[in-house]
A and B are shown apart, each in its own frame.
Chain A
Amino acid sequence: MFGYVRPLRQELKCRDFDLYRATYCGLCRCLRRRYGALAPMFLNFDFTFLALLLWQPEPDFSLCRGRCHANPLVKKPMCPDSPALELAADESIILAWWKLKDSVQDESLLEGMPARSLSALLYPAYRKAAGLRPEFDRAVRSSLEELAALEEEQCPSLDRTADTFARLLRAAAPEEDPRSRVLAQLLYHLGRWIYLIDARDDLAEDREAGRYNPVAARYGPEGDDEALKLTLDHSLELMGAAFQLGDFGCRAPVLENILYLGLPLVQRAVFDGSWSQIKKQKIWSNRR
């Protein structure tokens, strides 16, 4: 997706940092095993969060070691394969493919060339993933179509446009999970938050390009950070309230860090403009 969902490293305990990193590396390996050498390029923090969130609660975790895809000479701690990891891998391929298709449509023939060739390369992987998760595939497709229609008609409602992406993310949780209501509420508001943060991040760029932007459509071309912050904070709060009702076992601390520290930090950075710098930083290095 976009990389907005990340932990605040300075506040992570060592064991939680190890768990986070091993999940990230495990997701990379899972993508490569299922979808080939190209797939790890769609690895991101957002789906690492999803894998951690959907993992069935365990009192403790154990890591194994595996060869790194980027540097096969080194072995790194990785979490073992699990249904949650596979689900996150499949879903990231599906979403990546639809987003690529979206940008191919948006751009001119020449500009769209990189995205077009990439989507052609990704097509076999997408077919496989869509076959494994037909419901999520349908949900993504219909949500993005609805979103495109709303953007076309310059929808002035913040909630209506955000709702499409929120429902898309809500569909990422399996229905048979005993925590399904909690996960659905949490993911709905995470999707809402991601969509609106992304819209705020694109505000200036869209204004210059004359493109539709939901934040501008609601608050005017300059936006209204105070009002937007209020509604985003409330979504964060509802995510926290939902999170507290679910059982996440040993993964609770790292998830808590992301929800209560990581997301608010990214939000502040997007508002004050420092996000474009932070975005490029690797979580792994110790530099701030």
Chain B
Amino acid sequence: MKDPYSVLGVSPSASDEEVKKAYRELARKYHPDNYQNNPLADLAEEKMKEINEAYDAVTKQRAGSGGYSQQPSGSYGGYSQQRSSSSSSPTYARVRNLINAGDLGTAERLLYEVGQKDGEWYFLSGSIAYRKGWLDEAMQNYTMAVRMEPNNMEYRQALAMMQQRGGYRPAGSYDSSAQCDPCSAYLCCSCLTPWGGMCC
């Protein structure tokens, strides 16, 4: 296993507070929300696992050495949980599996054999387009999906993700032009600026 301190990017002499801060910044960076339906989601998940393990190792080590360590607040867990989503037909279920496995060509072919286009058809079509990087088409398909089934939360979430920005940005001057949404504003204000205050 890699040295947990180098994974967190802090020196072994760093204070507990510094370790925690570094961990939080990394957790914010690799948070699965930033990699939803992203073709690199598995790499982000690996990173997340690595930093979780490193943080756990450091807190355990420090607690064991009888230092002034606080009760470890627990690392962010449960990220590998799959969001449950159900398909209305076996074909759609197969398409979902293919998309998750990254086999977009087969998924696309299978989907085009479906005759009746319903909300889920457009949603899956949008997911395939998104994975390919065809963002405009993804947006159009998600819009259609929501129009056909306005009450489906999964489709609405996918569309909302296309319409608002809110991914990770490095702390510091990079935030100046970013629009502040309440969620990340909370994070910035609480812990993520070098001076511990507001950043935007």
Give residues in A with beta carbon < 8 Å to B: 11, 157-160, 163, 166, 181-182, 185, 188-189, 192, 218, 230-231, 233-235, 237-238, 240-242, 244-245, 256, 260-261, 264
> Which single residue of chain A is at the shortest CB-CB distance from B36?
A241
Are A241 and B40 in contact (CB-based, < 8 A)?
yes
Interface assignment of B193: CB less than 8 Å from any CB of chain A: no
Complex CA distance for A237 and B129, rounded to whole angstroms:
16
Binding stretch for chain A, among B14-22, B68-76, B86-94, B134-142: B134-142
From A157, A185, A261, B174 is in contact (CB under 8 Å) with A261
User: Cβ of B133 < 8 Å from any Cβ of A?
Assistant: yes
Cα separation A78 to B29 with both chains bound (whole Å): 33
Contact A234 B135 (CB under 8 A): yes
Minimum Cβ distance to chain A for residue B138 (Å): 8
A182-B43, A241-B35, A264-B177 known; A188-B133 Cβ under 8 A: yes
Distance A21 CA – B115 CA, assembled complex (angstroms)? 57
The answer to whether residues A218 and B133 also contact, given A185-B40, A237-B167, A241-B167 and a CB cut-off of 8 A, is: no
28 residue pairs A–B, Cβ–Cβ below 8 Å: A158-B136, A159-B136, A159-B137, A160-B134, A163-B132, A163-B133, A163-B134, A166-B133, A185-B40, A188-B133, A218-B136, A230-B162, A231-B135, A231-B139, A233-B165, A237-B165, A238-B133, A240-B168, A240-B169, A241-B168, A242-B40, A244-B29, A245-B30, A245-B40, A245-B47, A256-B174, A260-B169, A261-B174
Contact of B133 among A181, A182, A189, A244 (CB under 8 A): A189
- The docked-state distance in angstroms from the alpha carbon of A267 to that of B169 is 17
**Which A-chain residue is minimally distant from B163 (CB atoms)?**
A230
B102 to chain A, nearest CB (A): 10
In contact, A185 and B39 (Cβ under 8 angstroms): yes
**CA–CA, A49 to B132, complex, Å?**
24
B: which residues have CB within 8 A of A? 29-30, 34-35, 38-40, 43-44, 47, 129, 132-137, 139, 162-163, 165, 167-170, 173-174, 177
- Chain A nearest Cβ from B169, distance in angstroms: 6
Tell me, in angstroms, the Cα distance from A260 to B43 when the chains sit together: 21
Q: B139 contacts A181, CB within 8 Å?
A: no
CB distance from B7 to the nearest CB of A (A): 12
Q: Which residues of A contact B129 (CB under 8 A)?
A: 159
Given contacts A237-B165, A241-B40, 18 further A-B contacts (CB under 8 A): A159-B134, A159-B135, A166-B133, A182-B40, A182-B43, A188-B133, A189-B133, A218-B136, A230-B139, A233-B165, A234-B165, A238-B133, A241-B167, A245-B30, A245-B43, A256-B170, A260-B170, A260-B174
